[in-house]
Each structure stands twice: as C-alpha cells, then as structure tokens.
Chain A
Amino acid sequence: MTRLHLVIGPGRVEDFLQIFRTGVGVAVRVGCSLQDLLCGQFQLDESYVDRRITTIFLDGKPVDAVGSARIREGSTLALSAAMPGLAGAILRRGGALAPLRGNIMREDGERNEAPERDGVITVKLFNLLAPELAPGFLRRGVLLPAAEAEAFLRRRPPAFWDGCREILLDGRRVEAALLKGGCWAPPGESVDLSVALREA
C-alpha cells in the first residue's frame, strides 16, 4: 500500500468530488449497523443523517432503516440528498412511496450477524452531499486502485498544483512533478490518499 498525503489550500476540494461519484474505498469496522457506521465511525451528527442524507443505497438497494442495515466486507454505500421526481420520492429513505420499489427492497435484520472486524467498503457521495462530506473522508483517508489514483492526479489542472502546499509520499516530501507525469505507485496495489485542507 502506498500512502499519499496532500495538503491543499482553500477551494480545491471540488477537484476531489469526482472520485466520490464513482466510489472510493474506506477502511472501517464491518459487521456493524449502518447507523453505527454513519454516526459512530464516520462521526456524522444524527440530525444531519436524518435531515440531510435522505437517499441511501447499500449494495444498490435503497435503505429505509439505518439501524438494521448491516455493513459487510465489500459493501457499497452510496449517500445522496433528496431527489426530485416521482422516482426520487420513491427511493427516499422511509418515504411514503417506498412501497413502489417493492422489487428492490432490502431485507435487513438477519439474526446471525458476523462479529465486527476491520474491513473495506466502497463509499459513493452524490450531489449536495459530496462537497459536504468529502472533506471528512479525505481527512480520514480513502483507498484508490493505484492506476486510478495516478490517472486522477495526472489530469489535475495547473491551478490544483499551485494550491498544493505539501505532498508526502510514504512519509517523504516529494515534488508535484512526480505525481503529474509518472507512475509512482506499484501497479495493482492500492493508494491510501489523505488530504488536509489548510486555510489561507
């Protein structure tokens, strides 16, 4: 695993939002409930979860009860704000129209739940939630396949690198030129990318 830590100035978080739309790996304790994951491990305020994260998918199925949905190794969790349209209303967490998606309802609340252990899940952040939640995940660190991390950084515009205050690769300070052009992570491995925001 290659560890890459960036310190960036204000206004550059937007560059990272695209990786959250396709999904990033996040190291968590699996075997817990979604409620525990969001409020415990991700430390999101309960009222924020209730009020703001109104559309949730776990492994592609809409979640209604965060207390009973279980997180497993390899789960894909997608978080979104409320969506427009009839479809948006149908997919909304605990919405009155939830029955209209009966075919893709989750069946949660299994009796024999695996004990908690360390694992990795995929997290996707959509629309309004992406700029709100991405900074927290970036501080914590996210996992990307090496090729994806390299391609993402290669595509950054000059303004991104101008705003980059510090780059640490496996604990060593490196220049942006290394990330702009080359292959800096062993192929086939993962990159643990963490980003700290430093105000001006």
Chain B
Amino acid sequence: MDKILRVDMGAEGGPKFRTEPVGEFAGLGGRAMTTAIISKEVHPLCHPLGAENKLVIAPGSLSGTSASMSGRISVGCKSPLTGGIKESNAGGQAAQVLARLGYAAIVLEGKPEGDDLYKIFINKEGVQVSVDNSLKNLPNYPLVEKLKGQHSDRAAFMTIGTAGEMKLLAASIACTDPEKRPTRHCGRGGTGAVMGAKRVKAIILDDTGLKMREPKDPEKFRDANRRFVEGLRKHPITGEGLPAYGTNVLTNVMNEAGAYPTNNFRTGRFENAAKISGEVQAELEVKRGGSATHGCHRGCVIQCSGIYNDKDGKYVTKQPEYETVWAHGGNCGIDDLDVIARLDFLDDNFGVDTMDTGAAVGVAMEAGLIPWGDGAGAIRLVEEIGKGTPLGRILGCGAEVTGKVFGVERVPVCKGQALAAYDPRSVMGIGVTYATSTQGADHTAGYSVGPNVLKSGGDLDPLKPEGQVEMSRNLQIATAAVDSTGMCLFIAFPLLDQPETFQALLDMIGAFHGIAMTGDDVTALGKSILTMERDFNTRAGFTKHHDRLPRFFLNEPIPPHNVTFQVKDEDLDKVFNW
C-alpha cells in the first residue's frame, strides 16, 4: 500500500484524481491514517458538508494479507453529527480489496457543483470517476444489485443509501459482505452524509488479477498467523460464544447486570430481554434456515455474524448485532425479533446508523410520538427516513436533533452521538469512555490489547474514580492502535487473556513490516492517534465541558441498582493526561 488516491470532486471541469506516494503517511493504516490526514489537512472549523472537509477511506495496515481477521476498513472525516474528528470502521470485503489494489487511502476532497451523482471504479488498470444519475434515490440493496450486474465477482462495494444522498447526520457508508450484501456499515458519525455531500454514491473496488500482499518475512508471518488463529479458536469468547450466538449474546448478561438501558435509559432491566436475546435469535435463525455463524469478511475465523430469515425462510437481514437489537429493542420497549430484524434491514437499506436511529426512535417515544413497545410504529418512523419526509429527516439526523425538535430532556448523547447499549450509571467505566472519547459516545473506544497496556500508568485504588479514569485511558489508547491494523476489535479478548496470542499479533505485524514490535510500540501508536484527535477537536472548539455525560445520568438513579454516575468532572479531565 504505497500510494494514496486523491479525488478532487470539486475540480473545475469535473472531478479529477491523482495518485501520489504515501510520503509522510507511510506505514500508517486504518484509523492512524484517517486521523493523520484529517487532523493535518482539514480545517477544524470547516462545515462538515462543505468542500473543505475530506473523506478518507483507509484499509488497515494488515488488510489484504493472509492475516486472519484483517478485514476492517476505516473511514474518517470531520463528523457532521459530532462536529469533531470521526473514524468509523466496518467489516466486509472493501478493506482487503482496496489494500490489494495498493492504496493506503482514498481521499475524497472538494465538492462538485450541481446535483449529478458519481461513482468511482478502481481496479488494477486504474481509476474511473463517472457520472451515473441512474443510481439516484436507490437504497443500498437495489443499488448494489444494479452495480453487481456490471462488475466482476471479485468486486467489493462501498455505497450510500438514500440517507446519505439526503446528507442526514446519521447516514452511514455500507460495505458489502462476502455475499455482496450491503450489510456492514461505517455507521457512526454521519460519514455517509459527507460522502453524499461530495456527490459520490458508490465506490467499486475490483482486485481481479492481483494477489495478497506479501510480508517481508513470509515464514515468520505464517507461523505468527497460525499461532494467532490458534489463540482465537481456543478462547471461549472468540472460539465458542461469538460463533454460536453473535454479539447479541450480551443481552441476557447486560440485563442481569441491571445495565441494559430500557425505554430510553429509564431503567436498567427490560422485562422481556430474554425474548430478544442472542440465544433465542440463534435458535430462530437456525430453525428458519438462516445461520447463526457467518463471517463478515473472508479470513474471519470468529464468525460472529449470521443470516436472519423470516418464518418462511426468506432472507430478511444479516444477524442483527447486540447494539442494534438493543437500540431498536429494549431501548424502545420492543420485544419482537422479527420487528427488530425488519428495522435492521431498513437501516441498512436506507443507510443509517442503527444505534443513532434506534436512539432517535426511543427519544420519539419519550416525546409521545408513538407508545413504548410499538414495533409497527417504529417501523413506520424509520420508513419516514427512507421517504425523506420532514419527520424522517429529523429522525435520520439522530437522537440529539430529534430531542431538540420535540423538546425532550432525556437525550442520551455525548458530543452529539448516541450512547450505546450499556448504562453508564451501572458500569461507570464505560461512562468515562462515553464522555471522554474523541469520537463521541463510543462503546468500542475502550478495549484492551494486553495486560501490559493495562498495567502502564502505575497502581491506583481500583474502587476510586481515579482508577476508572486510568483504565479508560489505557483502553482508549489500545483500541486506537488496534483500529489502525484493520483487525477486528474482537481479537481483543484473546489478547487480554492469552499473552501468547498478543505476542503472535505483534510477531505478525513485525513479520509483515520487517520490524520488531513491542507492546510499548502499540501504546505509542495509540497515544499518537489520540493526541492528534484531541488536538483536532480542541481546534474545532471542543473544551473539557464536552467531555461530560448528560446530567440526567448524574441525577437520576437507575433501577434496579438505583445508582448514578459518580465520576467527578475533575477526574474525567485526567483521562488524557500524558
């Protein structure tokens, strides 16, 4: 991946592109790449939908190799949802194909005049940017179906649905899975709106005739990959739980913990959580001829995804993830998996973030638009998004906008982005991450890659808030580093428990690049990414006052434990002390 493709969508006379060497961005991948480019090249005060913003698409540093689990693609920009820097990543095939095409990044710049829509096609012969207004107003599924017919079997697609064309703040970018369905989304932060503002409807990537990226030391790489895969397979989470039940395995457990936000964060327990649990979902999928075990990209050995069919055995959607089941389920008082699956399909088809959309529907219920638990009503609301009605446009801009329009106080967002499926009052450490993450309320920002990362920074009393702050810091550092490799974040669990698996990952990275990597290198990379992101956000006008949870989390005890968020502001301000 020695080149960057820059496409100036606003060039005089029509979009123009150039390919340049990676230069100063050499060695970066995924989130490291997107953050480096955005923080350097985008004016922090620009309008996110304007010409000054850029959309950076970057595979991970290990994508396109034979490394298992290396299929994540990162998309970065100034977020129209949060107003800060954004990195949103997804599985699917795009990362591997783009990496094999040799591109460390695609950078969409500028903004065209007029309302033509463009598609970008990249193969080993080169790049084509062309107008294709026949794609206008196509939701993602029919869009990909149309494009599939025009391209080879190896093509991977990154598309926006109608939400992205409308530049809605919760608009996502869809990436096709191995079956070429638009099911894997760069969901958070409105990246689809930025792509829509640049009038790009689809990016088609075709690596026909190209091989896997070769490591510097193939033998060491193969050995490290073998040990890495062994570690994933023998761990009960990645080798058993996730393949059997998917991420929705968390529903019963989070509910039992009293940390399952129900009815827009009113309580921590949902009476009917068991009905929408991963266990029930898996049984239903298998019974209906779908699958509870499926990989979102080739080379995935965890296989946490699945296929959800209706009662007649017809495809509805990919297996809804825990966050989606929560957002459209317990968060809204809905206990019907078929309703939730339909909502998941609509989100994917229109191209919106399932989490902010579910949160918006929850806020709409709080406002009294429809009753709690009204599944049919929730479907009608999301269909409004696809139609682009005024109500649909409000909902499609996420929970914060919906709350403002309808005068709702309890709006669960940080930096404009909706919280995830874990109540921060019950699990305060996640609340620290929600509040302080550079990305807005983000549940994936705080993972760990290994015990050495956790131990850095000294020993503090674990029951005191400072201990939680310290841990959140270390976890955010580690996650930023993992997000740069293109590796699926679920590798974190075996890395946490099995030092030999963490070492295998370091060896794999080292063997690919021909260098020796240590845990300290991982930490340094993560810190540098977060430093750039914090700096951008500061220049964009963010202050410490933005690193806070909504005050209702501090004031409203949540049943059943009746606790509030107790980490003090001055402790939150210490997260990025280094």
Contacts and interface: CB of A to CB of B under 8 A. Distances in A.
Contacts of A80: 252-253, 256
B433 A83 contact: no
B428 A100 contact: yes
Interface in B219-244: 235-238, 240-242, 244
A96 B451 CA distance: 8
A105 B427 contact: no
Nearest to B247: A84
Contacts of A14: 283
A81 interface: yes
A52 interface: yes
Question: How many A residues touch the partner, as a band?
Answer: 35 or more
A12 to B, nearest CB: 14
Given A82-B237, A83-B237, A126-B279, A103 B561 contact: yes
Interface stretch (B94-102, B391-399, B440-448): B440-448
Contact of A89 (B279, B443, B448, B472): B448
B337 to A, nearest CB: 14
B258 A60 contact: yes
A32 interface: no
A85 interface: yes
Interface stretch (A16-24, A36-44, A142-150, A168-176): A16-24
Contacts of B242: 84
Contacts of B447: 86
A13 interface: no
A148 B561 CA distance: 27
Nearest to A91: B257
B259 A97 contact: no
B245 interface: yes
A89 B256 CA distance: 15
Given A82-B236, A84-B247, A86-B447, A97 B429 contact: yes
A153 B451 CA distance: 48
B427 A100 contact: yes
A97 B422 contact: no
A185 interface: no
A128 B240 CA distance: 8
The CB with the most chain A CB atoms within 10 A, among B235, B257, B432, B454, is that of B257
A54 interface: yes
A114 interface: no
A98 interface: yes
B277 interface: yes
B420 to A, nearest CB: 9
Contact of B280 (A18, A62, A81, A98): A18
B249 to A, nearest CB: 5
Contacts of B426: 101, 103-104
B278 interface: yes
A89 B496 contact: yes
Interface stretch (B75-83, B210-218, B462-470): B462-470
Given A17-B279, A87-B443, A97-B471, 17 more contacts: A18-B274, A18-B280, A21-B280, A22-B274, A80-B253, A83-B250, A85-B322, A86-B444, A87-B422, A90-B430, A91-B257, A99-B462, A102-B462, A103-B426, A104-B257, A124-B256, A128-B244
Interface of A: 14, 17-18, 21-22, 52, 54-55, 57, 60-62, 78, 80-91, 96-105, 124, 126-128, 130
